[in-house]
Each structure stands twice: as C-alpha cells, then as structure tokens.
Structure 1
C-alpha cells in the first residue's frame, strides 16, 4: 500500500537521522531502533506559546454568584443571561474544561456483576485543554479587530472592551489547565485501576509526537505513577496525523462539504442570526458578520482556559451556548461520527488492535485493508500482549470515530437543522 511505503520511508529517514546525531540510546540494537525515543521531538507541529495569565489583575470578580468550576484557576462566575445558575462551561463541546457529565455516557450504568473481575483496562484519552489550532483562524481575526481599532473603529456597548483588546493566545500546545486535566486524570485512573499495575516491567504507552499529545501523555503518567514514571512506562510516539486514523480513506475530503461545511454553516447562520444583528449595531464602521460572532463565542472558551477570564462570554445568552454545543455535535458527527460516510473507517484500526490484544495475538489483518501501522502492530516490542494496562492518547475526533466503529448507536441520533434550540426540538428520523 502506498501509504505504508511512505510511513516506512519516513520511519527509516527518522531513524537514520537520529543515528547520525547520536540520539538513539545505547539500548537500541542494530536491528531494533529505540522505539521509545521522544527527544528530540522533530514532529511537534506548529506551536506557539501565548501570554502568561494575569488573572489577579484582569479578573473583575466577584460577581456575587457561585463559581461553576470549583477549586480551579478559572473565573467562571460571570453572570450569563438566562443561565439561572446553570453552567455554560459544560456547553462548549471539545473546548469545555474537563468535567464528568451528570448524565453519564448515554447508557444505564451498573456496578460490576457479582463474580466478575477486571483483568485489563484499555484507555483512549483525549489531550488536555489547548490553545486554538492553526486552522481556526482566530489569530487572524484578532489581528483584524486590532487593525480596525487602530484605523479609527470605535466599538460600543457590550463590544466596548474591543477598543483596548488584543489577541494573547498561542497555538496548538497545552494551556496550563490542560496539563492539570491530564495530571488529574492520571491520579483518577490510578485510584480506579492502580491494582492492575504490574511493577515488574515497563508498560508501552502510545501517543503521537504532536506537542500537546506528548505532553498530555507525560502529565497523565506523572499523575498515575508519580514523577518517576519513566521507570514504569515507555512512550511509543508516532508522527501525527499519519497514525491517528484521519487518512484511512484517501477521498475523505470529498465528503466534507456535505457532512460538515453545509450543516455547520446552516446551523451557525440560524442560531447566531439575532445575536449577529445586535452586535453589528455596536461595531461602528466594522462590518460584523456571523463569522465574527462565532469567533467571539469561541474566544470565550479559549480565553477562559488560557487566561482565566474572558469578556467575550457575556456577549452570549445561555440559549446561545446550548446552540453552540449543538453546533459541536453536528461538526463531530459529520467529521468522524455516524453522520460521516468515513467515520467508521477512521476508527476501525483501533478496534482491530483492541480485538487483537484481548484475543492475545499480534495484528494479522491484510495490510491493504487497515489504517493500522502494520510495522508496529506486528512487532511484540511495540505491540505487547501481556499488559493489564493499555494507555493511549489521541484526539477527540479519533475517539468519536472509535465509538462509531464499535457501533455504539446511542451516539447516532439524527441532528435536525431547525430554527430552535435543540433541547426544544422534537427529534424524528428526518435528516
């Protein structure tokens, strides 16, 4: 398969380069490279560090209301129209600070049946809270706002803060809250599954070389094992995104317009229509559009998790946030979930690996029928079968695709594009 040849070539070049630089450790043999080398990281992706938070100075609290996220370094008590004590930070999709939903995972949950034992734990964990990705264009939007004010635009009313505002966020990498989330997750999982840890040998943990992925893995391991985690785990880090499932279908891009762009654009224009009209009246000679409103709403999430507080949050009502959460549902369902014709294919490789592990054999599917890395999955060093703990760190879209490949249809609800908040809509089989 062409993709397998490309991966093998890339791996060979990376190993050869590391050997010349003396980066391969003495543990590596002439026939086995050091699979678990994570430094130097040559595939971190596009990264940039944002401004350090200064919440003690910029926080206008107290607002007189309870903070939504308790014992956390985020100011989330800002009054939101129509919230009545409800938490908008649970309605931000993949940008929400990590929380456990009260409703669980859409299924009834029961204690372990009498006589049953847990013998393995397979964890697929998303990275922690991050700065915006390069593709979102928020830095360009911020530059446009600053340029407009420099040329004389005067924002009024609720947008007045933009007259002195500047964009302070980085790109791609974890924010401090993201590091905390993964450290806390490691501690939580140790409490739940620490009994399965066999201290007699190191376990192999998988992630990618993208900065936020590798650091999420490391912070989790520090929480689970302690700061000496390197004595207990080897990290197998592969190049992102070639090994995370997105490229399982070579013609996936041809479906994006129908499954993501059109439904997302339609819903965005629907639920933000009134809010855009209101903000446009406050924008002076700046041509404020639906896209501007959406960027402002996204910055509420990103500035809060990055800087601790955001003035953008107060621009939106509780209903706006309910509709924003629905927008995220539409996007993920169309990209890698049940609404995508390629969603199941994107997650099938991990399901094949999972089945191989619990059945106790190396992956044995034909190379041209899977998105899995057959070089790694047929090697007992990089695909061990004797672990009780399998810890892997990936992206949110990949987790959605795995749920789709497993056929967990409780995530397959239709998502109608109607002119009302989704909690008021009556679901049907209509698309």
Structure 2
C-alpha cells in the first residue's frame, strides 16, 4: 500500500536523507522503493539530496515564498504515446480476451494473477486527477499555509495556472487546503491557455513558444533517444517474460505497457501485480527512459536549455528584487503547471550542470549517478519552492526546496552560517553566471527565440 498519511508533506519535509549530493544506484539499492523510481509517474517523495535542515534559520525571518507546483496523481493521459489511456486499455483487453495468451500450465507463472485481475484504467477517466491526486494537493495546501502562515496577510491571492483541467483542479484543491471555505473569497485564478495566445510564460512554455512548438524542435531527438534506450534495456526483459506465453512473441511495446500498468495501478489503487514482474534494475532503467527524454525535451540536453524556463526565472528574480522596497511587495506567489514545464525552469536555474547539449545523457547505458532524475524532481505533485529570508546581517538570502527538501546550491556562496546550508545571498544568487542570463534577460531571450506573441494576461509568478 502507498505510504500516505494525513501529514504527507510533513513526512516529506522532515524525513532524513542520504549523505551523497546525488546518490548513485549503489548508495540506495538496499532501501529501493519502486514507487519512488517511476520517472514522472512516481509517487510524491523527498529527493536524495544532502540532508540540509529545512527549518527557517534562527537568525533570519522569512519574507517571501514562490511555489511552482505540478498537478497531483492522475489517470493516463490521452496524448502520451505508449502510455496513453487508449494503449493501456488495449493491453488490458488483450490480457483478458486471450489475444496475449498466457500459459497458465507453467508453475509459478508470474502472470497467473490475470485470472482474477480487475483492470482499473478506464477511458472515461482519461486525463483526470485520481482521488489520491486530490488528497495530495489538499494536504500540500494545508501544510504550506501552516509553514508560511506569517506571510499570508493579504486579502486576496492571485494564482497562475496552466489551463488544462487537471492542473486547474489541482490548484483548486490546493487552495481549499490553504483557505477552506474561504477559498472562493481569498483566491483569484489566472488561467493560461496551453497555446501561444498568452505570450511568454513558463507554465505552458512549449506551446507558448511558436518557433519551438510549430517546428517540433527536440521532438525527433526525444523520439530517437527513447527508442534507442528501449532497444537497449527491454530485450532482456522480453526474453525473461516471453516463455510464460503460448505461441506468442512478446514485443518491447508489450513490456512497456506492463511497466505503465504497474505505475498507473499504483496511482489508482495503491498496488499492482504488474510491478512484481520487474526487479529493481528493470525499474531503474524504466526510470532512466524518462530522464533521457525529459533532458532532451527543453531540458539540460536541449539547445533550448536557456530559453524555455526563462520567463519564470526572470519573473521570480524581479519579485525577489522587490523586497528592497520594504513597504510594498508581494509575499506569496503560487503557480501550477506540468512536469515538463518545471524541468526547464530548474534547468534555467542551473540545477543540472553535469548534463549539457554537448554532454547529454547516454542512450547506450544507464550511468545511474547523474543530477536530473525526474523521479526526484517532478514526481506527481512535485514542486519547486523558493524562499527569501532577511537575516540579522541585514542581507537577503535565497533558498530552493525541491519537494520540501533543500536543494544544495553551490554556485553562489553560503548563507549567514558561512557553511554549506543551501542558501545564497540575493545579489550573488541573481548575478551568478549559472543563471545570470535567465534572471536578467529570461523573458527577452524567450521572446526573441520563440517569436512569442505579446503577453495578454497579467502573470505574477
């Protein structure tokens, strides 16, 4: 069963973590959790960063918080290729009607569960949040309000959200968690259409960038890399599982469907017999397929690495600078989007320096130790939180949390402790070469490269 309680975020926030900055396979194989290693289909969990304290520094006061939040757990989508709802329902039907003929005479056939199996993926629920997704977002809203209570002193909070229904609904559940029955009076939502009409923004950055979207930039590389990696890691699994069928030759696509059935059944009913078909190495390689593709699709392996996340980062930077006007600045910023939009933002912030267009993730093997693990950065309900503190030395400091775990910034010095604490002085943070272009010119770079339409909505990240 999924390890979820009413204190989901508290558990994620205060859980201890391992010692390595980015753990390799050997470092955590003994406590391997399949549900935390399914790429962007993983359950919400704390990433494997250095275990820095998430408490507010004693010598500092919290002054501002920015939350970039992915939607909650969902049903299969309509447009996800091999993981689409249509593909998975087709596989369910094949298993039930015998067109994938399981040989039940083989002792201990791992597919014997199919005899009594009741599928849970339904075309009617395509793209919708799962019940767990609603709980996740409600709980996160409640816990965020508790943690940052002193910042919530406005009459109304303006919330930006990508306009797809599951994102909108996630934002609403989150807001109910924050404000309860007062939600309708305390919030105003700006819905950003997931096309080019809103102009430069990072909540629907692929579609709001006409040059990128209309020319299918990165798509060929993504598809080729995904196919190449599947051809590396799937054949051995195909060979292992094929003997359990009669007069049928399993394909890579069949086994891929088994992986997705495992992941989505965990999302929808907390358990899945399909997961028992795979060992930890199989799951790690399935996870890696997500990392390869997301790193190429506007992520650190893409030549558009410094473009797509730029509008969010510059807006973030402008809001951070606003605190110098002590009497009038916004304190809480809330934005809701998809996994594919958060990775480019984190890339523009310099989170993945080991992966570049010149040194992309390989498709010939899984190196295990690398920075951009989608399971850790953008699981269901994943988030990026930016905190701004004012400290006793009269300086402002920035800190990032990824899924409520402090991200170890290393490019802009330390906080007031003068030791590695995940904090950077505001000016050093904004002017670091790692993110300078994005913090100063992110929107202009986006507009120039994308030929973006003029912004026709008020966007406050």
Smaller-chain TM-score bracket: 0.5 to 0.7
Verify: 1:187 aligned to 2:142, yes or no: yes
CA distance in structure 1 between the partners assigned to 2:335 and 2:354 by the alignment? 22
In structure 2, the CA distance between the partners of 1:115 and 1:108, relative to structure 1 (3 Å rule), is closer
1:296 to 258, 262, 265: 258
The answer to whether the 8 A contact 1:90-1:99 is kept is: yes
1:160 to 90, 93, 112: 112
Which ranges of structure 2 fall in alignment gaps of 5 or more residues?
Answer: 7-27, 104-108, 199-203, 371-461
1:314 to 252, 256, 276: 276
Q: Which has the higher strand share?
A: 2
**Bigger mean CA deviation after superposition, 259-268 or 163-172:** 163-172
The answer to whether the 8 A contact 1:245-1:398 is kept is: yes
How far is 1:318 from its partner?
Answer: 1.0
What is the aligned partner in structure 2 of residue 250 from structure 1?
211
What is the aligned partner in structure 2 of residue 130 from structure 1?
74
CA distance in structure 1 between the partners assigned to 2:255 and 2:291 by the alignment? 19
Verify: 1:422 aligned to 2:367, yes or no: yes
SS in 2 for 1:214: helix
**Bigger mean CA deviation after superposition, 137-146 or 261-270:** 137-146
Larger relative contact order, structure 1 or 2 (CA cutoff 8 Å, min sep 6): 2
The answer to whether the 8 A contact 2:219-2:297 is kept is: no
**Bigger mean CA deviation after superposition, 218-227 or 278-287:** 278-287
The answer to whether the 8 A contact 2:92-2:119 is kept is: no
1:84-123 alignment, distance < 5 Å: 86-103=32-49, 115-123=59-67
The answer to whether the 8 A contact 1:153-1:285 is kept is: no
Verify: 1:332 aligned to 2:266, yes or no: no
The answer to whether the 8 A contact 1:146-1:166 is kept is: no
In structure 2, the CA distance between the partners of 1:316 and 1:360, relative to structure 1 (3 Å rule), is same
CA distance in structure 1 between the partners assigned to 2:187 and 2:344 by the alignment? 27
Verify: 1:220 aligned to 2:174, yes or no: yes
Q: Based on CA coordinates, which of the two structures has the bigger radius of gyration? A: 1
CA distance in structure 2 between the partners assigned to 1:154 and 1:409 by the alignment? 45
TM-score by length of 2: 0.63
The answer to whether the 8 A contact 2:206-2:212 is kept is: no
CA distance in structure 1 between the partners assigned to 2:346 and 2:31 by the alignment? 32
The answer to whether the 8 A contact 2:265-2:271 is kept is: yes
How far is 1:129 from its partner?
Answer: 0.5
CA distance in structure 2 between the partners assigned to 1:178 and 1:148 by the alignment? 28
Which ranges of structure 1 fall in alignment gaps of 5 or more residues?
Answer: 1-66, 73-81, 362-384, 426-431
The answer to whether the 8 A contact 2:2-2:270 is kept is: no
How far is 1:206 from its partner?
Answer: 1.0
What is the aligned partner in structure 2 of residue 412 from structure 1?
355
How far is 1:109 from its partner?
Answer: 6.0
Cα deviations by residue, 1:35-77 (Å, 9 ceiling, x for unpaired): xxxxxxxxxxxxxxxxxxxxxxxxxxxxxxxx562548xxxxx
Cα deviations by residue, 1:77-123 (Å, 9 ceiling, x for unpaired): xxxxx97652111101211111112426xx96676556443211111
In structure 2, the CA distance between the partners of 1:97 and 1:152, relative to structure 1 (3 Å rule), is closer
CA distance in structure 2 between the partners assigned to 1:68 and 1:86 by the alignment? 14
CA distance in structure 2 between the partners assigned to 1:69 and 1:148 by the alignment? 29
TM-score by length of 1: 0.67
Aligned-pair RMSD on alpha carbons? 3.1
How far is 1:185 from its partner?
Answer: 1.0
In structure 2, the CA distance between the partners of 1:189 and 1:241, relative to structure 1 (3 Å rule), is farther
Verify: 1:150 aligned to 2:150, yes or no: no
The answer to whether the 8 A contact 1:159-1:279 is kept is: no
Verify: 1:176 aligned to 2:131, yes or no: yes
**Bigger mean CA deviation after superposition, 131-140 or 185-194:** 131-140
Cα deviations by residue, 1:261-301 (Å, 9 ceiling, x for unpaired): 12222222212221111222223244421111111111111
CA distance in structure 1 between the partners assigned to 2:128 and 2:32 by the alignment? 30
Cα deviations by residue, 1:120-174 (Å, 9 ceiling, x for unpaired): 1111000001111112334234325524753665313222344565643221111
In structure 2, the CA distance between the partners of 1:341 and 1:163, relative to structure 1 (3 Å rule), is farther
In structure 2, the CA distance between the partners of 1:147 and 1:268, relative to structure 1 (3 Å rule), is closer
CA distance in structure 1 between the partners assigned to 2:311 and 2:135 by the alignment? 30
SS in 2 for 1:273: helix
Cα deviations by residue, 1:302-327 (Å, 9 ceiling, x for unpaired): 01111232121101001111112222
In structure 2, the CA distance between the partners of 1:217 and 1:68, relative to structure 1 (3 Å rule), is closer
CA distance in structure 2 between the partners assigned to 1:113 and 1:85 by the alignment? 31
